[in-house]
A and B are shown apart, each in its own frame.
Chain A
Amino acid sequence: MHKKSILLIAGLSFAALGTAHAADLRTQAISATCLSCHGPNGKSGGAIPSLAGLEKGYFVQAMKDFKSGARPASIMKKHAAGYTDAEFEAMGAYFASLK
């Protein structure tokens, strides 16, 4: 993981993080909750899009646009509304890393 990502992820936490390991697991845990809809390892079957391997910049912009309303959406507007830009960055880096 890049240093930049680690810094971003560390910024998400409420308590000070002891190790990079903990930051990584926290990001994985946040991202994993998306996979109940988007499929194991980010690979979806059917109408819901896959997240695995999405380019990070694309993911982050899509989420910001869902949140602002710039991109028309149904359920994703309600989801994006609850997340921070730093979380979009951290999740985007993680999903981009999934093969």
Chain B
Amino acid sequence: MTINRRDFLKVSGAGAASTLITGCASQGGASAMKGNPKVVIVGAGFGGATCAKYLRKWGPNIEVTIVEPNDNFVSCPISNWVLAGMKSMNDITHGYGNLSKHGIKMVKDYVVGVDTGKREVKLKSGSSLSYDRLVLAPGVEVLTDSVGGYKEAEAAGKVVHAWKAGPQTAHLRKQLEAMPDGGVFVMSVPTAPYRCPPGPYERACMVASYFKKAKPKSKIILLDGNPDIASKKGLFMWAWNTHYPGMIEYRANNAPRAVDGNKMIVSTEFDDVKADVMNVVPKQRAGEVCGMAGARNDSAGVWCTVKLDSFESTTVPNVHIIGDSVLSNLPKSGHMATNHAKIAAASIVEMLAGRPPISVPVVANTCYSATSDTTAGYVANVFRFDKEKGYVTQPDGGATGQGDEINLAYAESWAQNIWAEALS
């Protein structure tokens, strides 16, 4: 593809001339000289889809391709509401069709290799894509191997994590519907850091909400790998005591070690817990493609560390990581992934034009959790960028201590808006 001179001038302005002369050596501009810069994005979730849209908005000369294996986007936020019967799978499932309106190319495929030297992504279909900059937005890889017997029980349909919304969410809802009144739902919380810190506790609320109406003699045992409720503690304690007294048994420091799908038992260090429905959520790491790119570079080789002004890997040049795969003090939330995406997009536009990354000085996280079918609460924090410390949490943020009706309405509106922000 050749540079359209009119667009080129319109888009890049005065800064572009210096790009062509000086920007190539340090910014991977070799192919940019031959044509439009190319960005390949792996994953069309909250992070990847949003990044693609903003790259096209702020850098209309950039060729943006997303590689995504799934036909549809299924939202993790609000997926717990499906378990309560408040929403259907259809409500949380959205198509990718609108992304093409922005000039984004969707490739339905699966990445099987990344050559960061050649700047090339290899696809399962056998073809490959070259890039000037690569954005990895794969979400998390759930480490089912870390729990004994998990894979066998999962294959038999006896245990699911449902920590990636989709068929497992629907399966879990069916299991809950089939469970007799007086049954025991055993759920686990992975050791932090994991995707969506308040998610497991919201899930306990949502399942309790369903039980309260449909099978009130039932019980929930929450096995937490952490020493305490990891997020919005006050809100969830309020909800459990107010809406579901006696229904939820919380056990700290109780990470499951094994599951037995035949006997329906979850085993911890301390005892064997009998379940009617098992929802064990194993620990997680950065998505597989991050491993292929050599970008799982934290001390444990599990998560990705990035320069927070651009979300470029601290060790792998031209590769940016956004969303839940990143290790930082920014929460692993879908909302945060969309904001990683915007910071990365702004900086990538600048870097492809031969300028330094933009330091977006301030960014915020918002996360609603439903506490019943009529109430919700939230946590909100603002983070300011510091060159040495990264994004520093500002005072006066935090979580609500109780849920209410207006925040349930806001939560629903938030979901509609963030889905539209990422996909419309």
Does A associate with B in a complex? yes
Chain A contacts to B: CB under 8 angstroms: 12-15, 18-19, 21-22, 25-26, 28-30, 32-40, 44-48, 74-75, 77-79, 81-83, 87
B residues near A12, Cβ cutoff 8 Å = 361
Contact partner, B407, options A14, A21, A74, Cβ 8 Å: A74
Given contacts A14-B359, A22-B355, A33-B364, contact A82 B396 (CB under 8 A): yes
Shortest C-beta distance, B149 to chain A (Å), equals 39
Q: Decide: A45 and B382 in contact? CB cutoff 8 A.
A: no
CA distance A34 to B358 in the complex (A): 18
Contact partner, A26, options B338, B346, B366, Cβ 8 Å: B346
25 A-B residue pairs with Cβ-Cβ distance under 8 Å, sorted by A, are: A14-B387, A21-B13, A22-B350, A25-B346, A25-B349, A28-B346, A33-B339, A33-B362, A33-B363, A35-B417, A35-B421, A36-B366, A37-B335, A38-B417, A39-B417, A44-B417, A45-B413, A46-B417, A47-B409, A47-B413, A75-B366, A78-B397, A81-B394, A82-B381, A82-B397
The residue of chain B having its C-beta at the shortest distance from the C-beta of A81 within the complex is B396
B residues near A36, Cβ cutoff 8 Å = 335, 338-339, 366, 417-418, 421
CA distance A25 to B57 in the complex (A): 11
Q: How many residue pairs, one in A and one in B, have C-beta atoms under 8 Å apart?
A: 130
Shortest C-beta distance, B91 to chain A (Å), equals 13
Q: Decide: B15 and A21 in contact? CB cutoff 8 A.
A: yes
Given contacts A81-B382, A81-B397, contact A48 B417 (CB under 8 A): yes
A residues near B54, Cβ cutoff 8 Å = 32
Provide the main secondary structure of the chain A interface: helix
Q: Decide: B339 and A13 in contact? CB cutoff 8 A.
A: no
* Known contacts A36-B366, A40-B424, A78-B382, then 14 further A-B pairs from the complex at CB < 8 Å, ordered by chain A residue: A22-B350, A25-B58, A26-B346, A28-B346, A29-B343, A29-B358, A46-B413, A47-B412, A48-B417, A74-B378, A75-B407, A79-B382, A81-B397, A87-B361
Q: Decide: B380 and A78 in contact? CB cutoff 8 A.
A: yes
B residues near A87, Cβ cutoff 8 Å = 361-362
Q: Decide: A37 and B362 in contact? CB cutoff 8 A.
A: no
Q: Does B110 contact A (CB under 8 A)?
A: no
B residues near A19, Cβ cutoff 8 Å = 13-15
Q: Mark B318-353, 1 if CB is under 8 A from A, else 0.
A: 000000000000000001001100110010011000
Q: Does B217 contact A (CB under 8 A)?
A: no
The residue of chain B having its C-beta at the shortest distance from the C-beta of A83 within the complex is B362
CA distance A25 to B398 in the complex (A): 29
A residues near B420, Cβ cutoff 8 Å = 39-40, 45
A residues near B355, Cβ cutoff 8 Å = 18, 22
Shortest C-beta distance, B424 to chain A (Å), equals 6
Q: Mark B400-417, 1 if CB is under 8 A from A, else 0.
A: 100000110110111011
The residue of chain B having its C-beta at the shortest distance from the C-beta of A49 within the complex is B413
A residues near B378, Cβ cutoff 8 Å = 74-75
Q: Decide: B366 and A37 in contact? CB cutoff 8 A.
A: yes
B residues near A82, Cβ cutoff 8 Å = 362, 364, 381-384, 394, 396-397
Q: Does B360 contact A (CB under 8 A)?
A: yes
CA distance A38 to B383 in the complex (A): 19
Q: Does B385 contact A (CB under 8 A)?
A: yes
Q: Decide: A78 and B396 in contact? CB cutoff 8 A.
A: yes
Q: Decide: B361 and A14 in contact? CB cutoff 8 A.
A: yes
Q: Does B246 contact A (CB under 8 A)?
A: no
Q: Does B126 contact A (CB under 8 A)?
A: no
CA distance A36 to B366 in the complex (A): 9
Shortest C-beta distance, B376 to chain A (Å), equals 11
B residues near A29, Cβ cutoff 8 Å = 342-343, 346, 358, 360
Shortest C-beta distance, B18 to chain A (Å), equals 10
A residues near B117, Cβ cutoff 8 Å = none
Given contacts A25-B349, A74-B406, contact A79 B364 (CB under 8 A): yes
CA distance A18 to B359 in the complex (A): 13
Q: Does B227 contact A (CB under 8 A)?
A: no
CA distance A3 to B339 in the complex (A): 28
Shortest C-beta distance, A22 to chain B (Å), equals 7
Shortest C-beta distance, B186 to chain A (Å), equals 33
B residues near A18, Cβ cutoff 8 Å = 15, 355
The residue of chain A having its C-beta at the shortest distance from the C-beta of B409 within the complex is A47
Q: Decide: A13 and B361 in contact? CB cutoff 8 A.
A: yes
A residues near B385, Cβ cutoff 8 Å = 14
Q: Decide: A39 and B421 in contact? CB cutoff 8 A.
A: yes
The 8 A-B residue pairs whose C-beta atoms are closest, nearest first, are A82-B382, A46-B413, A81-B396, A39-B417, A82-B394, A47-B409, A78-B380, A48-B413
